[in-house]
Amino acid sequence: MNLQVRLRSLPREAVEEGHFELREGPVPNLAAGEVLIRNHFLSLDPYMRKRLADAVAGRVPFGPGDLMMGRTVGEVIESRDARFRPGEHVLGWGGWQQYSAEPAAKLEKVVDAGGMPLSVHLGVLGRPGITAWLGVVHVAAVRHGECFVVSSAAGAVGSLAGQMARHLGARVVGIAGGRAKCDAVTGELGFHGCVDYKSAGFEQALRDATPKGVEVCFENVGAAVLDATLGRMNENGRVAVCGLLGQYHSGAPYAFRNFPRVLDRALRVTGFRIDGNTDLHERARADLRAWLEGGVFRSWETVSQGLEAAPAAFVSMLEGRGRGKTLVRLA
């Protein structure tokens, strides 16, 4: 049997475990050109929240009964394409299920990462790592001596982006939720400072942590967190907008107080998506692999066991209760 998690109802406000349901179905049969995969790890990511919000607004066709989407890494069980053989490991879009039948053209073979766990291909060497690289190296072009502020600094992308910027010689200040996360970001990841956005004195603390202003903002949250950082930006600063989780989650519009800084300081604000820069992925992976093997990164993972745990793990990630990459171990 193939265990799956499907959408029970669309969340109008906060996402809850009750919005999902566990189902059993048959292991899928293969069509020509498809590959049957037993998924070992499922990646849980903020974009899934945006997909749910878009569905509520009618912008995407997604609703009750549909399988939850998601990036997976697993083992080939059967193949009807000569490019893949049983026993090989592949990256795919298997979704929230134990077994998936996927078109071979959409799969990527996994290259061994020096004995590291398979999950690393959903984290440092996967989409979070590539996204962080694109923002730090390609979009913001971080330089030695600059002040680099990253929100969601304990998250999958933010924790890697901050470590990359530090490696490139920037002074790195994180923004995270809670004193414990901030202490971990500075103590374990080597950030030069970290500010708790949940604290009453957040904006003053950010000013204190960036006494000479900010050259680069790597933004994952939006709303009040981005607004505070805009107020610290220096002339010709760069803002790399990677995500707006704070706005996906609430669904409410936000009126920016510091938006005039974009004009007053001639800021460059660039939104970017990983799928819009596929020509740079191989270069990113090469850097990421070299940095990983060279000990530049400390990779955090929050791993839940069993597909049954996926809804609770997803809610926990959205509420900021994990660190680094959020994963579900399926096998």
Give the C-alpha separation, 20 to 41, whole Å.
19
Give the span between the Cα atoms of 171 and 210, in whole angstroms.
9
Rounded to 10 deg, the angle between the 223-230 and 202-209 helix axes is 40
Q: 3-state DSSP call for residue 166?
A: helix
pLDDT of residue 248: 73
Kindly report the number of other CB atoms within 10 A of residue 122's CB atom.
Answer: 28
Identify the pLDDT of residue 250. 64
Low-confidence ranges of the chain (pLDDT < 50): none
Hey, what are 279's tokens? 């020509």
Q: What is the pTM of this model?
A: 0.92
CB atoms under 10 Å from CB of 272, counted, come to 15
Go through the domains of the chain in sequence order and give each one's CATH number: 2-123+300-329 (3.90.180.10), 127-275 (3.40.50.720)
Task: Tell me the residue type at 261.
Answer: R
Q: What integer best gives the mean pLDDT of the chain? A: 95
Give 33-52 as a DSSP string.
Answer: TEEEEEEEEEEE-THHHHHH
Residues with Cβ within 8 Å of 238's Cβ and at least 6 positions away in sequence, in order, are 139, 140, 141, 215, 216, 217, 267, 268, 270
- Report the residue count for the chain: 331
pLDDT in tens, 189-216: 999 999 999 999 999 999 999 999 999 9
The pLDDT of residue 41 is 98
Tokens standing for residue 111: 């290259």
- The string of DSSP letters for 178-192 reads SHHHHHHHHHTT--S
According to DSSP, the residues that pair with 90 across neighbouring strands are 74, 109
The neighbour count for residue 136, using CB atoms within 10 Å, is 25
CA 1, CA 24: separation in Å to the nearest integer?
A: 6
- What pLDDT is recorded for position 144? 98
Angle at the Cα of 250 from the Cα atoms of 315 and 179, rounded to 5 degrees: 65
pLDDT attached to residue 115: 77
